Structure formats: structure tokens, C-alpha cells
Structure 1
């Protein structure tokens, strides 16, 4: 049994996988003030909820972009699962050529997601759109991570707007039928503006990247809001909600996964 952890700036995404792949996932808030015990108890509670005994966890693989959380996670896993976690890419290399000018600057999450997208796609050129704290566009060609773009995140932008806007109403971000409506209340204006503004950004940036790459590309979407925005983004070949956890599973199987063809 494998425990998979994506430690992001906003959330910890937890996955459980057996030999067939991911079968359960959970989300916890990222808390830099957590103790190994508080985090370990939370993790073991989730494992129990999935019907798995903590003693059945044989390996822990972690992707983290929050360095202060790393030692807390490590001690929690050692105490509550008797397992020394492996961190990507420090302990588990990602089998992609990293073409970043300064390779160490790339977040582990982007590398793992790019690798998983390359494996999942049907073309050698892949663009992975990840809706997280930021909206990232990562490009893979063959077995090379080319880099990408980092744009504002939808919920981060909404929170930033609420800080500077008095009496901002709570809004529902539901694409519904997918058609544009002219808002007739502040809530409707915000909802339509964010939904269609961000979908237009994603479609526009995606088209520019495909043109720049010069050949057909598969565009995959992942992250918390991918499924909600998909009705407005016809360029998405597929929505993969747990693409990063899928990538961690692939990498955890034998310490590293076989490189994709191409």
C-alpha cells in the first residue's frame, strides 16, 4: 500500500494506492504550524477512513513545494506509519529532461504533473493546465520538460479582490450550460466574469502555446477547478482531477517509473 502526498501552498492532497493505482484521495489544509503528531494523527485517520490499517502502508512518496512542512511530514510518517518518506525529485527522480534555465527552480509538483500528463496523453507533445494556487501551463515534448507559464489562480484572484472590495458577495462558480450571461447583480457579474474571464485566458494561452510549439498537442486539465471550467474550455482533451497523485503513484512503483515513449 502506498501513501502519496502532494504538499502545496494551500492544501495537502493525500492519496492511497494499491497495485492497481489510486483508489482514494483526501484534502487537508496546509498548516506550517502543525506538529508531527497532529499531522500524523490526521493522516492515520484518513488511512483508517479508507479502510486501511496504518501498518499496511509500505511506502510514502511526497511532492512538496512547502519546505517548512517537509520535516513535519517526514517525522509524522516515520512515527505513525513506520515509513521513511521519499521526496520527489530529491529521492525519486522524475524521468524527464528538465530544460529550465535553472532546473532547481521548478516546483516538484510541476515536474510530477508534467510527467503524469506525458504518460496519460496520446501525443508526444502535451500541455498540462493545473488549476491550483496559481494557474500553470506546463509543456512537455517527447521526454523533455520545456517549461511553461504561470498565471493567476482563480481562487487566489477572488480572494485578492475580496480584500480590496467592501461587501463582496459570496458567489457560486458554476459554468452550468456554458453560455455567457450578462450579470444583473454583483454576484452574477462576478461569477460570469471569473468563469468566462479565466476560461478565455486558458483557451487563449493554450492556443498560443500550441502555435509556438508548432505541432499538435494534447491539452490536459487538472487541479481543483478543472472540472468546473471544462464546459467552457473545448481545447481540453481530458480532465484528470488527480494527475499529480497519479504521477506520484507511477514514480513510487519501483523508485522511478519507466519513461514514456517518444
Structure 2
């Protein structure tokens, strides 16, 4: 079995892959500052699912928080006697070229998403990952050709809340209508619908620019519970990033 980490700025998704089945958990990235704290969390999670530590044979990591890298390396060696594998743009896996000005700046989560999208959905995909930031990645003819980054829903809400005296902090839900008659609705529409409509428009512009009818793949914790009829959520893949990490390790193993 594989132990997979998707280390994000706010949350960390842990996954155990057994064949093609995933068992997943979500914890706060700030919840562990040492390898021992991380193990204590994982031990409890494993025990609750009757997963034995010695069944883990590989550890793969997508990490966008540099300060966590050393912790994860020590964790893997100390408790599993394994060398962890970190997703990197410098490994040419599955013949994916990264046509970016500075490939080193591409987040490991985005690389993982691109890998999984290519292998599971085809050569021409646009991947949306809804987290602290919303990343959009374009896979064109099997290669990463660029993307965009915008503040996520909660990030936008917190920025508004922290800089205004009379705007309340609210739950993020999507009203059925496009303008509201109270402050809560105004904020929900202004943040969520403005971002979603903006993404829909951007995607249509990308399709028009490239003359390609890209398949849209969506993932990320902030997208999971959104109730919307937007076409960009038609192909929601909760485990897309973890799948990409697993595929990355599989390639390096020569399988």
C-alpha cells in the first residue's frame, strides 16, 4: 500500500492507496510541526481504519510548503524506514513537457493534477483545483502549457472580512439568484458567483484561443460541497491530486 500526502497551505490531505481504492483524511497543515506529531496523528487515523503501519511500502508527497519537507523526510525514515518521493517538475514523467518560463515555480499539486488528468482523462484537459487558491492548469496535446491562479473562496472572504467593518463572516453557499437583498447573499454572490462566472468565461476564452474543446476536470476541498449546475463541475475527481502522486511514483518505479 502507498501513503500519499497532498500538503497544501491550509490543509493536508492524507491518503492510503490499496490497489485502486483510496482511504483519505484531511488535517490542518499547521497541526504538525515535527515528525513525531505527524506520526501520532497518522497512528490514530490508521488505528481507526485498522490499517497496519508495516503495510505501507511507498510514501509519495506533493508539497507546496517548503518548511514541511524536512519533517516529512524524517517522518518517512524514522517510522517507515522509507525514502519519501517528492513530486517535482524536473522528472520527465509520462513525456509531459512543462512549457513554463520557470518550471521550478510550478506547484507539486499542479504537477500531480496534470499527470492524473493526462492518464485518466486525455491529452487535452483543463484542471481546476479549489483550495486556498484556485489553480487552473491547461494540458494541451499532452503537455502543460500554462494556467492561472486566483484567490480561493475563503481567501477572498477573509480578505473582505478583515478589511471591512460592517461585512460579517459567513458560510459560503451559492444562492440560486444573481443579486441579493441582504448582506449575506451579497457577499456569497459577490465572491462565489463572481469567481465561478469568471472561470467559466476564462475557460471559454482558452477554448476559443486554442480551438480545442478541452475536457474540464475539477478537484479540491472547496469544490466538494458546492451545489451548482456549472458545467465546470461535471467531472469532479476528489482524489485527482493523490492519483497524480501515485502515478508519479509508479513511473519512477519503472512500472
Same fold (TM over 0.5): yes
TM-score (norm 2): 0.90
Offset of residue 71 of structure 1: 0.5
Aligned to 2:3: 3
Distance change (3 Å), C-alpha of 1:240 and 1:58? same
- The aligned length equals 254
Tell me the residue number matched to 2:98. 98
Deviations 1:76-125 (Å, cap 9, x if unpaired)?
1222222221111279654311111221121111111011112221x421
The equivalent residue for 1:132 is 131
Q: Which residue matches 2:198?
A: 201
Aligned mates of 1:12, 1:165 — CA distance in 2: 30
Query: Could you tell me which of 205, 209, 213 is aligned with 2:210?
Result: 213
1:113 matched to 2:113: yes
SS at match of 1:205: helix
- Tell me the SS of whatever aligns to 2:148: strand
Maintained 8 Å contact 1:99/1:144 = yes
Which one of the candidate residues 220, 223, 227 is aligned to 2:224? 227
TM-score (norm 1): 0.88
Query: Whole-Å Cα distance in 2 between the matches of residues 167 and 54 of structure 1?
Result: 50
**Separation in structure 1 between the aligned mates of residue 192 and residue 67 of structure 2, nearest angstrom:** 34
Equivalent residue, structure 1, for 2:40 = 41
Displacement of 1:160: 1.0
C-alpha displacement at 1:256, in angstroms?
5.6
State whether structure 2 residue 154 is matched by structure 1 residue 172.
no
Shift of 1:136: 1.1
Alignment of 1:174-193 (within 5 A): 174-175=173-174, 179-193=176-190
Is the contact between residue 16 and residue 24 of structure 1 (CA under 8 Å) also seen in structure 2? yes
Instruction: State how 1:50-69 maps to structure 2 within 5 Å.
Output: 50-69=49-68
Q: RMSD of the alignment, in Å?
A: 2.2
Q: State the distance in 2 between where 1:107 and 1:200 align.
A: 25
CA distance in structure 2 between the aligned counterparts of 1:48 and 1:158, rounded to whole angstroms: 37
Secondary structure (helix, strand or coil) at the match of 1:3 reads: strand
Alpha-carbon distance in structure 1 between the residues aligned to 2:215 and 2:184: 34
SS in 2 for 1:238: coil
Point out where structure 1 has 5 or more consecutive residues left out of the alignment: none
Q: Secondary structure at the match of 1:225?
A: helix
Cα deviation for residue 138 of structure 1 reads 0.3
Aligned CA distance change for structure 1 residues 87 and 94 (closer, same or farther; 3 Å): same
Secondary structure of the structure 1 residue equivalent to 2:181: coil
Asked if 1:255 corresponds to 2:247, the answer is: no
| Structure 2: gaps spanning 5 or more residues | none
Quote the Cα distance in structure 1 between the aligned partners of 2:107 and 2:85.
16
- Report the CA distance between 1:236 and its aligned residue: 3.9
CA–CA distance in structure 1, aligned partners of residues 146 and 80 of structure 2: 36
Return the offset for 1:198: 1.5
Looking at structure 1, the residues matched to 104 and 249 of structure 2 have their Cα atoms a distance apart, in angstroms, of: 21
